[in-house]
A = this chain, B = another copy of it.
Amino acid sequence: MIAERGIAATRIADVAERAGTSPPAVLYWFDSKDELLTEALAHEEGRFRAQLVERLDGTSASERVAILIDASCGGSDWRLWMELWTRALHDREAGRTRRELDRLWRREIATTVEAGQRAGEFAQADAGEVAAHLASFLDGLAVQVALGDPEMPIERMSELARQMAERLLDCSLPAPEGYGDEVLEAVA
């Protein structure tokens, strides 16, 4: 609901309708609209991480980087994070949440980079620097994709991010899987 209409335009009545119930019923489970929105975003974040952990299990560093990029491209709806960003601009609590999520995400990348360096798969470079580079680049690309920029289809995002990682780490990454119709459709 949030991804479709945006936080600002999402009414309790919309959520209720989607859930096949009534506005007061929604407020029976959530104390307020604000709490509902906050929990929705937290839930999505949890879903994303869980899916990521599963995919990362028992893989090489190169594969991991490829998976992280891949997950960025299609694993979650960037519209949600963009909503969180603008929320974070004016809401202290949302700001804290956002910073924490980003810190974890960059750390995930940095840790993987370091592992790859120890395994000799990647060139020596400051892992934190690489993580900052890659994370920012992915954010920027995702904005274009989420906004349906004709010059930035999701395949190009994937390709550019991949090139960037290979350049930063001086390595070769395994090929990404294609994107299923659901993902392509969600982006469109």
* Residues of A near any B CB (own CB < 8 A): 5-9, 79, 82-83, 85-86, 88-90, 95, 98-99, 102-103, 106, 129, 132-133, 135-141, 143-144, 146-152, 156, 160, 164, 167
> Which residue on chain B has the smallest CB distance to residue A81?
B143
Nearest Cβ in chain B — how far from A94, in angstroms? 10
B160 touches A136 (CB 8 A): yes
Query: Roughly how many angstroms separate A146 CA and B97 CA in the complex, as a whole number?
Result: 15
Chain B residue numbers with a CB within 8 Å of A136 are 137, 140-141, 143-144, 152, 160
A85 touches B82 (CB 8 A): yes
Give which listed residue, B79, B83, B90, B151, contacts A9 with CB less than 8 A. B90
Minimum-distance CB pairs A-B, first 8? A140-B140, A136-B140, A139-B140, A8-B8, A136-B141, A86-B86, A6-B90, A137-B137
